[in-house]
Chain A
């Protein structure tokens, strides 16, 4: 086929015959030639005006596929639309069958497509959609609270196995990565502070710096961000996939509430796991700071810990830990909510998973900022 199409002698063509109104077609009328054929047709029609009766000779057509058939059919249709009578001669039976099939299946008129919306309409739609998203998240929060209240009244019906499983995957399995990252963060903070403190000879205050910043702010925040990326995305992807495969509908028809089975265990497990992880990252972060203080400022481990005891109050520690359950609720709810927003295609699982991570990290940082303002009002 490739030989015949590359040689000009065999190239597909249509040209006006000797008598007026006589069009000859030749060569392979196939997809590979479609663009060239279209140009030939246009050239034919631009020639001298055609009489009412037109004969199209297809004797020399060596092959006809659907694309070639379409061009032939379109030529006939366009000619008939402006009042010509079109006849085919030399049409092989299989070509005639193809033309009949094309004529049968194609709609007489193309459908009108709606024009794309203007800028204003698009802005309006985007605002409306983000408003709807916020409302949706809020109503999801309400539904979860109700489900939680129901579950607390009937603790026997709680899915304890699912909770334990989620504790394992979101909590225990996250220990290495959260530990490593907060240890590194402790090192970084101490390293940055060391330079400044040495200049004023206040080496010992490294314990204040690392202790306060890690316990109050950084360790709850870094843990929440890691868990949002690690578990929040997994929640969205899992629930989204269940939605695509209609397993959520299956659960509902069996009579198992998807909230009870899929959302509550995740929320409860994360409310337990995130504060515990935060305590752990507190320890790891301070450990990192201690190592750096020892290496850069010659502050021994015992000296560091003595100073830490004086510098960091229990309130600071509790403030850090106290934020963790709030972050946990945000991460679990946003992850699950975005999972439920998947609309049935594999593509949207990926989209909603991305949105869940971006949204939960955004909300975690926003809420953290609000906590800071509230605590400064309360002078804590």
Chain B
């Protein structure tokens, strides 16, 4: 048996899960593919891609105290906004999820995807902190990751004030947010920053080279394909994208040392750009002597769970993540 890895002739695409494929027919016209940097403003304006909760939805009928804090950003950079949702009436310090939103490094904001994280925070009684970071291409690397890291450092240093147990903070993110969460975990390790209890990486965007079999195989299909990925990375890195001197804090797949990291939870669909880089990241964590839990959901396109929550496979995908959180965050 031989595996054809020639980029010139990618393998046949992995078919989408039937329900996800059908859902694509409904949503594709509202999610035009990203084909050039010029389309970034239109993508940011397209709220269909990323529904955000309202202020009332954030508080969940008083289940959470919601506040925003302006905290010091990276040296010489503007302050960073943190959205903090704290379960009301907590008397002991709680575990916290430090969330980094997705959006391909070029879009989204601290509210994106918060609805499902609030479900988790409500059920497990967690503090949810969501960071607003500067976006590429206006703010290329290292602005986004340094904003995220600065917010994490402030959160850990002010844990007592926020009612957070500093020993139980985990970083989490989806898509670009997953890549940034992985990078923040690398930074925390290398700078001897906050101790993290885990890193929850949901279909993370890790590798600027954009040349894995899955990236080529799924080109032109689903959500956030090869072309969109190239635009996102180019916005973040400019000409350095795919070159020899890309920092692991920009693209964690570039890290040569994945030892000494907090336990990772990684999940991804089998029918998307990031499948192979995400599987490789888990594999390399194991090879470096670390812990990772990996789930590959058959026929899942990028972000399927948030976009098509009713599908059977989306419902299933939420279950192991919840169980991992319960295990990892148990006091």
A interacts with B: no
Q: Which residues of B contact A (CB under 8 A)?
A: none
